[in-house]
């Protein structure tokens, strides 16, 4: 071999000075750029395509009550939403294990259709937590995606097919597994139609996205870019059949209570009015939600029809917020105790401190997320100072909590 080739990549011809790594082989060299490119080609060529082979039975030994008992360990309250979620997931497994009938005209020739879910609840009530918790229990691919990044095809943002790209990534690009998975679409309310009046400009992140989701939710064969990103003619696509994929949607739908109140009020003052109006719970109007309210908020009728199961999450009252602090397996207070235990410090909170945190969370109206932000504000200085001190125990007092939170509020007002 000539001396000119000793310090040069055999594949691309780059000199050693222009590479980060030059690997020597038998009478050949290869640089780090060519290695990365070869790896990418290998990954793309190994992506399996959708097959028509019969799919095996999925083992799932949990009843709806068993799934709910698992959720109860991590999520406080929300009985209605838990039951709807548990039944939907249980029926999804039964549907996947349904054997196609070989005979026509008999009772066993009934094809079970999937029931996609939409969950409506205020921010911080546990929609995403329900999805993350149930994902721990499942043995089918599960992914959580955010609808806020989606735009209509051809515009800046992500196409609706990126939902399925995430599902493929969750099951290591096994198309057969992905076609039996579950997708949780968070922030579904953010793609609501921006206005009732038609406009000369396209609603590319609202109604356009909803129209793009229609076929995916109902069930069709979709060409998906396996590595995500924008679609282009040279990119290799993977065909995914969404017929057996269960979609669970969640959103805060901020302001939908006004739509519900207007509808209920119209029923009260009409000729066929509701006589017993005293039973209406004005603090939890979401329990009266109907598909009509979703339509008036901005979801198109076609997408509402493809989300037949409509459930709601109750707003968190004082008791629920207090329980969230200490009762779940991953409760906020338990997390702080474990963090300090790793430094050899026994952390304790005065009972009045927990009540004070709950009071502030109700005042800020941020739900369970408000608990976390308040606790972080109170504990910041403690977490900074304690590891440097030779302490074996520490107790957070009410006076200390009030001082830290008051100081933080003063700074916010001063900056404003």
Tell me, what's the pLDDT at 353? Answer: 94
Six token digits for residue 173: 């690009």
- E strand or H helix at 311, and its extent? strand 309-312
Residues 6+ apart with CB under 8 A from 234: none
Are residue 327 and residue 345 in the same domain, yes or no? yes
Are residue 249 and residue 358 in the same domain, yes or no? no
Across 114-160, the runs of DSSP E, i.e. the strands, are: 117-120, 142-146
Per DSSP, 71 falls in state H
Query: pLDDT digits over 176-187, tens only?
Result: 888 888 899 988
Residue 409 lies in a domain: yes
Tell me, what's the pLDDT at 236? Answer: 77
Q: Would residue 122 be called left, alpha or beta, if left means φ above 0 and alpha means ψ between -120 and 50 degrees? A: beta
Q: How far apart are CA 209 and CA 189, in angstroms?
A: 11
Segments in the chain below pLDDT 50: 1-4, 47-54, 103, 275, 411, 413-416
Six token digits for residue 308: 């037949």
Residue 381 lies in domain: 318-415
Tell me, what's the pLDDT at 346? Answer: 94
Q: Is 9 helix (H, G, I), strand (E, B) or coil?
A: coil
Tell me, what's the pLDDT at 415? Answer: 45
- Total-model pTM: 0.73
Are residue 404 and residue 340 in the same domain, yes or no? yes
| Overall number of domains in the chain | 3
Are residue 63 and residue 204 in the same domain, yes or no? yes
Domain stops at, among 260, 287, 315: 315
* Diameter of the chain measured on Cα atoms: 99
Tell me, what's the pLDDT at 108? Answer: 59
Residue 105 lies in a domain: no
């Amino acid at each position: 071999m000539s001396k000119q080739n000793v310090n040069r990549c055999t594949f691309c011809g780059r000199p050693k000075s222009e590479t980060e790594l030059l690997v020597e082989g038998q009478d050949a060299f290869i640089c780090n750029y060519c290695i990365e490119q070869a790896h990418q080609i290998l990954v793309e060529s190994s992506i399996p395509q959708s097959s028509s082979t019969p799919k095996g039975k999925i083992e799932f030994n949990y009843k709806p009550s068993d799934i709910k008992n698992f959720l109860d360990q991590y999520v406080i309250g929300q009985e209605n939403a838990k039951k709807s979620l548990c039944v939907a997931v249980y029926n999804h497994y039964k549907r996947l294990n349904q054997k196609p009938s070989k005979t026509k005209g008999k009772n066993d020739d009934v094809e079970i259709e999937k029931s996609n879910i939409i969950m409506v609840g205020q921010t911080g009530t546990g929609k995403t937590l329900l999805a993350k918790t149930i994902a721990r229990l499942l043995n089918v691919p599960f992914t959580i995606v955010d609808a806020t990044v989606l735009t209509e095809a051809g515009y800046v943002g992500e196409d609706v097919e990126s939902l399925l790209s995430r599902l493929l990534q969750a099951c290591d690009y096994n198309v057969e597994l992905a076609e039996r998975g579950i997708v949780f679409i968070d922030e579904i309310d953010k793609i609501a139609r921006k206005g009732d009046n038609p406009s000369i400009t396209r609603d590319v992140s609202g109604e356009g996205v909803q129209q793009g989701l229609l076929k995916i939710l109902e069930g069709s064969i979709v060409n998906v870019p396996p590595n995500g990103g924008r679609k282009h003619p040279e990119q290799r696509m993977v065909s995914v059949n969404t017929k057996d994929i269960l979609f669970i949607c969640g959103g805060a739908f901020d302001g939908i209570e006004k739509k519900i109140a207007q509808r209920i009020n119209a029923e009260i003052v009409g000729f066929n009015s509701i006589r017993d109006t005293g039973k209406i719970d004005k603090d939890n109007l979401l329990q009266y939600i109907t598909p009509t309210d979703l339509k008036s908020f901005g979801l198109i009728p076609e997408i509402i029809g493809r989300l037949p199961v409509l459930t709601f999450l109750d707003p968190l009252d004082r008791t629920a917020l207090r329980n969230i602090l200490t009762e779940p397996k991953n409760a906020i207070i338990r997390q702080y105790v474990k963090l300090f235990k790793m430094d050899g410090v026994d952390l304790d909170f005065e009972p009045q401190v927990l009540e004070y945190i709950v009071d502030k969370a109700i005042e800020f109206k941020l739900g369970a997320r408000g608990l976390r932000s308040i606790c972080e504000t109170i504990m910041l200085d403690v977490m900074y100072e304690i590891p440097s001190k030779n302490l074996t125990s520490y107790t957070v007092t009410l006076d200390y909590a009030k001082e830290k939170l008051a100081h933080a509020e003063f700074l916010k007002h001063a900056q404003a």
